[in-house]
Chains A and B, each alone.
Chain A
Amino acid sequence: MFPLVADWVSGTEASMLVVVLVLATLGTATLFLIGLVGYRRRRTRVYFLVTIALGVLVCRSLVGFGTLLGFVPMPVHHLVEHGSDFAVATLVLYALYRSGPPSRPG
């Protein structure tokens, strides 16, 4: 069914993975685009960090396709996926840390 897919998946698994990956790519890419427009409006560090985090999510989906099609070896896949989890967590935590307590005069 998918002559190009790597040898670690059966045909049924591959079709399910393709569906999940397409949905993930559409979802994360939409979020990333919304983030980009938001960043263009505000141009602040917080928006920059959140948008990069959303961009990393898009990369995860693309690497997923790469692995399924046999371009990205499994160890690299795991390294990238878990590395990007770490990156997303760090970016959002840093944005939260930078935001600090509200300082409202008066």
Chain B
Amino acid sequence: MSDVRRTVHGHIESHPGVHFNELVRDLDIATGQAQYHLRRLRRAGRLDVVELRDRTHYFPQGYDSWEQRTIALLRRETARGIIVVALEDPEPSAAELAGELDVARSTISWHVSTLVEADVAEKCYDRHGRSHVKLTRPEETRRLLDEVAPSLSDRLVDRFTRLIDDTFGESATRR
């Protein structure tokens, strides 16, 4: 296996559910090169691919399809926010979610329907007819959230590269 392919595979193992753009950015490799190695890895059966709402997520083997969909959604900021709120305070209403996450009601409703389609959450209604979000499998969702939370060292490196990129401008990212 080539060095680049090993790096790509290693990155997917340490970041299950990573999506294409993120992978290309983190590893700083060309789009075509990434596509080529991902195709080879996929053909060799070394990774699983999930397409969800126009984005492609890559997984090492060992996750079932519900786990894959949940992790993919946990990697999106707003969907992840909804899940985190629903874990802390079961069955939040759409209005509570919009307030807590400081996004529009329409944004919440779009993401909630994505979560419902993926069977990560379901909608229920109170006696006033207001919709609430309920996680289908809260315990497993919490476990997966811990699994995909970036490690402290990952976060430090990310912030360090952001600091250097901001300080030194384009030359920091240009070879």
Seen from chain A, the residues whose Cβ lies within 8 Å of a Cβ on chain B are 34-35, 37-38, 41-47, 50, 95-96, 98-100, 102-103
Give the tally of cross-chain contacts (CB within 8 A). 51
A45 to B175, CA, bound (A): 7
Whether the pair A50, B164 counts as a contact (CB closer than 8 A) is yes
Asked if B95 is an interface residue, CB under 8 A from chain A, the answer is no
Q: Which of A34, A37, A47, A103 sits near B172, CB closer than 8 Å? A: A47
Which chain B residues lie closer than 8 Å to A98 at the CB level? 171
Question: How far does the Cβ of A15 sit from chain B's closest Cβ, in whole Å?
Answer: 30
Q: Which of B28, B168, B173, B175 sits near A96, CB closer than 8 Å? A: B168
The contact size tier of chain B is 10 to 19
Whether the pair B27, A44 counts as a contact (CB closer than 8 A) is no
Q: Which of A37, A44, A96, A102 sits near B157, CB closer than 8 Å? A: A37
Question: How far does the Cβ of B33 sit from chain A's closest Cβ, in whole Å?
Answer: 14
Question: How far does the Cβ of B52 sit from chain A's closest Cβ, in whole Å?
Answer: 26
Assuming the A-B contacts A41-B26, A42-B28, are A99 and B168 also in contact, with contact meaning beta carbons closer than 8 angstroms in the complex?
yes
Q: Which of B26, B161, B169 sits near A99, CB closer than 8 Å? A: B169
Which chain B residues lie closer than 8 Å to A41 at the CB level? 26-28, 157, 161
Assuming the A-B contacts A41-B26, A42-B28, A99-B168, are A34 and B173 also in contact, with contact meaning beta carbons closer than 8 angstroms in the complex?
no
Give B141-172 interface residues, CB cut-off 8 Å to A.
153, 156-157, 160-161, 164, 167-172
A14 to B106, CA, bound (A): 64
Which A residue sits closest to B25, measured CB to CB? A41
Question: How far does the Cβ of A45 sit from chain B's closest Cβ, in whole Å?
Answer: 7
Asked if B174 is an interface residue, CB under 8 A from chain A, the answer is yes
A100 to B174, CA, bound (A): 12
Which chain A residues lie closer than 8 Å to B153 at the CB level? 34, 37
7 tightest Cβ-Cβ pairs between the two chains A and B = A99-B171, A99-B168, A46-B172, A46-B168, A37-B157, A38-B161, A34-B160
Assuming the A-B contacts A41-B26, A41-B27, A43-B28, are A100 and B171 also in contact, with contact meaning beta carbons closer than 8 angstroms in the complex?
yes
Which chain A residues lie closer than 8 Å to B174 at the CB level? 44
Interface centre among B157, B168, B175 (most CB of A within 10 A): B168
A34 to B27, CA, bound (A): 15
Which chain A residues lie closer than 8 Å to B27 at the CB level? 41
Whether the pair A43, B175 counts as a contact (CB closer than 8 A) is yes
Known: A37-B157, A41-B27; 9 extra A-B contacts, CB below 8 A, are A34-B153, A34-B157, A46-B168, A46-B171, A47-B172, A96-B168, A99-B167, A99-B169, A99-B172
Which B residue sits closest to A98, measured CB to CB? B171
